[in-house]
């Protein structure tokens, strides 16, 4: 006589093994860790009445970092909004960037800046998507009259397509008439958020580029994939 309990136990075991095998076949592979992020882009907003004091603090901190290992530490003031600043920095490694952020000089700078802020100190680590060769010395020494920092937000399902379009634009724009720099960076904490960092010899060169076919094609392709407004901001280098 067949023992029904043994049949049921055997069937349950077989079903469990099949279910486990199905899960193993359908489960996604572990996500690949993003590259380390030696870049950072930081947005700073201060009280309008404290713009001059903030400039002095930023310039003093930037100058104190010279010779300290930074490949770039450029401070920009937004054109038309003198109480808005951006900092673009690059270090030899993510650890070097993090070590600097934890240093006494950095803590003192942020403590002095904190009472002047009207929004949080918005620091965003990045890694490179497409960058040009660095100039001799720091990038901040590159001669240019107009700088542009643009935040690009792509809806997650279209991330790969959007990233490809951003890379295509950077590579088509780099070295165009009047262009000094055109880098594309990826935000480490949100891989569908990217930052474009541009430098131009003058405003007419930047304006002419905005009407070229590569730019028009990029903006047309990006439109349906955008998760937010195209956030393009013009800056002057803080001397």
Q: pLDDT averaged over consecutive 10-residue blocks of the chain (239 residues)?
A: 46 46 44 82 98 98 95 97 98 97 97 98 98 60 86 98 98 96 98 98 97 98 97 97
193 closest CA partner among 121, 101, 127: 127
DSSP annotation of 88 reads: E
Query: CA 45 → CA 51, 85, 94, 115, distances in Å?
Result: 9, 6, 25, 11
| d(C-alpha 95, C-alpha 150), whole Å | 25
| d(C-alpha 136, C-alpha 18), whole Å | 61
Q: Report CA dihedral (103, 106, 135, 77) to the nearest 10 degrees.
A: 170
Neighbour count for residue 36 (Cβ, 10 Å): 13
| d(C-alpha 140, C-alpha 112), whole Å | 24
End-to-end alpha-carbon separation of the chain, Å?
Answer: 94
Q: What are phi and psi of 56, to 5 degrees?
A: -65, -40
| pLDDT given at position 3 | 53
| pLDDT given at position 31 | 57
| Cβ proximity of 149 and 76 under 8 Å | yes
What value, to the nearest 5°, has the Cα angle with vertex 151 and ends 51 and 82? 15
Task: Give SS3 for 75.
Answer: strand
| d(C-alpha 82, C-alpha 200), whole Å | 20
| pLDDT given at position 143 | 78
| pLDDT given at position 150 | 98
């Amino acid at each position: 006589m067949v023992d029904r309990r043994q049949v049921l136990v055997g069937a349950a075991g077989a079903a469990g093994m099949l279910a486990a095998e199905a899960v193993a076949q359908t489960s996604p592979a572990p996500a690949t860790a993003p590259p380390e992020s030696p870049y950072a882009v930081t947005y700073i907003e201060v009280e309008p009445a404290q713009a001059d004091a903030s400039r002095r603090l930023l310039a003093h901190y930037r100058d104190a970092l010279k010779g300290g290992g930074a490949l770039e530490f450029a401070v920009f003031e937004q054109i038309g909004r003198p109480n808005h600043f951006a900092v673009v920095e690059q270090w030899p490694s993510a650890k070097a960037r993090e070590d600097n952020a934890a240093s006494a000089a950095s803590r003192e700078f942020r403590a002095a800046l904190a009472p002047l802020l009207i929004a949080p100190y918005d620091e965003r680590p990045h890694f490179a998507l497409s960058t040009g060769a660095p100039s001799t010395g720091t990038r901040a020494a590159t001669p240019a009259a107009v700088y542009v920092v643009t935040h690009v937000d792509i809806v997650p399902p279209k991330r790969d397509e959007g990233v490809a379009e951003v890379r295509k634009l950077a590579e088509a724009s780099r070295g165009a008439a009047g262009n000094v720099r055109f880098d594309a960076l990826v935000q480490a904490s949100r891989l569908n958020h990217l930052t474009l960092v541009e430098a131009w010899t003058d405003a007419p060169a930047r304006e002419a580029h905005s009407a070229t076919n590569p730019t028009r094609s990029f903006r047309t392709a990006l439109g349906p994939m955008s998760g937010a407004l195209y956030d393009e901001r013009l800056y002057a280098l803080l001397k």
